[in-house]
């Protein structure tokens, strides 16, 4: 699905990712074990679940980031057999902008970390990406001068600057107000279409709106289940498309049920 407005085409061929035998434990307490997750090449997969269930840990496992406090196990494999390191872009809930750098230098931070200096071509590209998120005019400002929504747009531009086939997003929109979130979801869907994306979220409507597939991480013990087929509407799916509201409600109900069972089960559990 190539939206007409997307002008950044992937330079790497898209890759799929298979996670197998993933497990997470904190201080000897097992959160989940033997979880398998497949990210289809060129598609958005939402990892939906209540907080504290280990969604972020699963994302960090794929990203190759160390887990602080907990222990994760599992194998992560790219569909083409090559290692994933260096082919991932990461966007977190916080924008992680460096306050001492200008907006454009923040977009260029990846280039700078990999080598010294940056040539005019990189700058041009960064400026182009800032233009796509509507912030070209603010390129020389510091992050502190921007609103939360703008800052997250800069973070999106920085993610796109990395130009990686796999994009991992850890609740990137959850700290934003409803209107800003709605707009940024649209921008992200447009600019990241055609890439393999893992979107970690606790919001059923967000998952429904943006992803080709929803993986549900919930339950006692925590298990990963596929949420099944989603409304057949182009992404980003409008929230008023047929079946969307009912589907969001049923997903929310599923999360709430499992959450309630957890809460009830916990006092009895050893």
Partner 1 sequence: MTQALRLITIALGLLLLWQCIVWVSDVPKFILPGPLRVAETLISQYARIAPHAGITALEIVLGLICGTMLGGMTAISLTVFSPLRQWLMPVLIASQALPVFALAPLLTLWFGYGLISKVAMAVLIIYFPVTAAFYDGLRRIDPGWLDMARVMAGPNGPTRGSVMLRIRLPAALPAFGSGLRVATAVAPIGAVVGEWVGSSAGLGYLMLQANGRMQTDLMFAALLVLAVMALGLYALVDRGLRLVTNWQPENGYA
CB of 43 to partner 1, least distance (A): 21
Q: Judged by CB under 8 A, does residue 112 bind partner 1?
A: yes
Q: Judged by CB under 8 A, does residue 90 bind partner 1?
A: yes
Q: Judged by CB under 8 A, does residue 76 bind partner 1?
A: no
Q: Judged by CB under 8 A, does residue 68 bind partner 1?
A: yes
Q: Judged by CB under 8 A, does residue 242 bind partner 1?
A: no
Q: Judged by CB under 8 A, does residue 183 bind partner 1?
A: no
Q: Judged by CB under 8 A, does residue 150 bind partner 1?
A: no
User: Tokens standing for 195?
Assistant: 């890439």
- With contacts defined by CB under 8 A, name the span among 90-98, 187-195, 230-238, 239-247 that binds partner 1: 90-98
Candidate residues 89, 103, 224, 251; the one interacting with partner 1 per rule CB under 8 A: 89
- With contacts defined by CB under 8 A, name the span among 56-64, 146-154, 194-202, 244-252 that binds partner 1: 56-64
The dihedral over CA atoms of 59, 63, 64, 66, expressed in degrees to the nearest 10, equals: -50
User: Tokens standing for 120?
Assistant: 């005019």
Nearer to partner 1, 92 or 208 (CB): 92
**Cα separation of 143 and 220, whole Å?**
42
DSSP H or E segment with residue 116: none
Q: Judged by CB under 8 A, does residue 171 bind partner 1?
A: no
Q: Judged by CB under 8 A, does residue 148 bind partner 1?
A: no
Contact (CB, 8 A) for 49 and 218: yes
**Beta carbons within 8 Å of 210's beta carbon, 6+ residues apart:** 44, 46, 185, 188, 189, 199, 235, 236, 237
Alpha helices in the chain (DSSP H): 55-63, 103-107, 109-114, 120-132, 148-162, 178-191, 204-210, 244-268
- With contacts defined by CB under 8 A, name the span among 10-18, 91-99, 193-201, 258-266 that binds partner 1: 91-99
CB of 217 to partner 1, least distance (A): 21
- Output 139-145 pairs: Cβ under 8 A, ≥24 positions apart: 139/102, 139/103, 139/104, 140/102, 140/103, 140/104, 141/102, 141/103, 142/99, 142/100, 142/101, 142/102, 142/103, 143/95, 143/97, 143/98, 143/99, 143/101, 143/103, 143/106, 144/99
Nearer to partner 1, 59 or 230 (CB): 59
Nearer to partner 1, 106 or 201 (CB): 106
Q: Judged by CB under 8 A, does residue 198 bind partner 1?
A: no
Q: What is the binding site for partner 1 (CB under 8 A)?
A: 60, 63-65, 68, 83, 85-86, 88-90, 92, 94, 96, 98-100, 109-110, 112-114, 116, 142, 144, 162, 168
């Amino acid at each position: 699905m190539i939206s007409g407005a997307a002008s950044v085409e992937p330079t790497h061929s898209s890759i799929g990712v298979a996670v197998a035998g993933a497990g997470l434990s904190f201080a000897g307490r097992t959160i989940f074990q033997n979880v398998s997750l497949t990210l289809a090449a060129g598609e958005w997969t939402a990892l939906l679940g209540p907080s504290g269930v280990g969604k972020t840990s699963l994302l960090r496992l794929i990203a190759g980031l160390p887990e602080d406090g907990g222990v994760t196990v599992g194998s992560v494999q790219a569909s083409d057999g090559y290692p994933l390191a260096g082919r991932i872009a990461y966007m977190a809930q916080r924008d992680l902008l460096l306050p001492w750098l200008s907006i454009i230098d923040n977009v260029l931070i990846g280039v700078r970390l990999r080598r010294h200096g940056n040539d005019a071509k990189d700058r041009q590209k960064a400026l182009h990406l800032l233009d796509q998120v509507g912030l070209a005019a603010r390129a020389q400002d510091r992050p502190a001068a921007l609103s939360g929504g703008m800052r997250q747009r800069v973070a999106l531009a920085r993610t796109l600057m990395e130009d990686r086939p796999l994009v991992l997003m850890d609740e990137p929109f959850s700290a934003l107000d409803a209107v800003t979130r709605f707009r940024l979801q649209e921008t992200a869907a447009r600019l990241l279409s055609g890439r393999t994306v893992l979107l970690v979220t606790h919001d059923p409507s967000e998952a429904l709106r943006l992803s080709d597939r929803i993986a549900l991480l919930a339950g006692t013990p925590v298990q990963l289940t596929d949420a099944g087929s989603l409304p057949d509407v182009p992404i980003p799916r409008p929230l008023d498309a047929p079946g969307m509201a009912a589907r969001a409600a049923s997903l929310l109900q599923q999360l709430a049920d499992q959450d309630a069972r957890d809460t009830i089960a916990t006092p009895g559990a050893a």
